[in-house]
């Protein structure tokens, strides 16, 4: 990068945006004309055509198991079309890499993951199967959540899209409304992770078994209807 790298403009392409591969290529080249550089951040759900998809039991795309990735399709398309400046596009997919950066994780996310897991166990013991634990924001407060449950049949094959008002007019960025929504989830603190021999120590498990209360688990696809 170097001291003279300067500002690098970023374009975001979310699954909910109205852009496609053609407009992406045009937007990137327009930015290269203006700034000579551009970083593109793309949602894996951005529509680039067929990926040689595989699907899970609910019919959702298994992106990590498909024949190619959205990132690779975009890199190939950009390089095939060429640029208004010298150079080639290259891509990076966080994947497992992001899980090695747990020191940067959100403390809010860590705590909520623990509590919703606790709620899921409680639901399983008291209500049985067929439920999913949920995290819901309390209305009319800055940020506070509560934990509840919902029938699996109501949410198993559904998805919640990013509201249109959270996308900028050019569909290449998010609005301040999204930033206000997300900042509470990001939090303001570093996670408290113990270091042992200069390595992160996340947990030391203590094996303390209790009496089994639930029936033997059987994956959904192997259950007899």
What's the pLDDT at 164?
93
Tens digits of residue pLDDT in 148-187: 999 998 988 788 899 999 999 999 999 999 999 999 999 8
Residue 21 included in any domain: yes
Token pair 């009319």: residue: 140
Instruction: Show the domain range for 43.
Output: 10-99
User: In angstroms, how far apart are the furthest CA atoms of the chain?
Assistant: 67
Q: Radius of gyration of the chain from Cα atoms?
A: 22
Are 128 and 196 found together in one domain? yes
Tens digits of residue pLDDT in 6-63: 678 999 999 999 999 999 999 999 999 998 889 999 998 899 998 998 888 778 888 8
Q: Which segment of 33-47, 73-87, 99-113 scores lowest on mean pLDDT?
A: 99-113
Structure tokens at 75: 């890199």
| Integer Cα distance of 221 and 165 in angstroms | 39
Are 94 and 14 found together in one domain? yes
**What is the residue-wise DSSP string for 138-203?**
PTTSSS-EEEEEEEHHHHTT---PPPGGGB-TTSSSB-HHHHHHHHHHH-SS----EEETTEEE--
Last residue within a domain, chosen from 99, 119, 154: 99
Residue 35 included in any domain: yes
User: How much is the pTM?
Assistant: 0.76
Positive or negative, the CA dihedral 80, 83, 88, 94 is negative
- Measured distance between the N- and C-terminal CA atoms of the chain, rounded to whole angstroms: 58
């Amino acid at each position: 990068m170097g001291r003279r790298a300067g500002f690098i403009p970023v374009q975001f392409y979310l699954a909910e945006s109205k852009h496609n591969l053609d407009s992406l290529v045009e937007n990137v080249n327009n930015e290269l004309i203006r700034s000579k550089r551009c970083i593109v951040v793309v949602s894996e759900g951005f529509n680039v055509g067929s990926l040689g998809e595989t699907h899970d039991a609910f019919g959702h795309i298994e992106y990590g198991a498909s024949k190619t990735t959205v990132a690779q399709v975009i890199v190939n398309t950009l390089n095939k079309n060429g640029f208004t400046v010298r150079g080639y596009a290259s891509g990076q997919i966080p994947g497992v890499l992001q899980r090695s950066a747990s020191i940067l994780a959100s403390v809010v996310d860590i705590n909520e993951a623990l509590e919703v897991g606790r709620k899921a166990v409680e639901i399983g013991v008291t209500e049985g199967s067929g439920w999913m634990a949920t995290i819901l924001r309390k209305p009319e407060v800055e940020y506070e959540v509560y934990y509840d449950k919902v029938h699996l049949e109501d949410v198993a094959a559904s998805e919640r899209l990013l509201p249109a008002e959270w996308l900028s007019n050019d569909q290449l960025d998010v609005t301040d409304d999204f930033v206000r929504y997300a900042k509470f989830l990001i939090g303001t603190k570093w996670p408290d992770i113990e270091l042992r021999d200069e390595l992160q120590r996340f947990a030391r498990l203590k094996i303390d078994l209790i009496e089994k209360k639930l029936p033997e688990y059987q994956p959904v696809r192997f259950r007899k209807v």
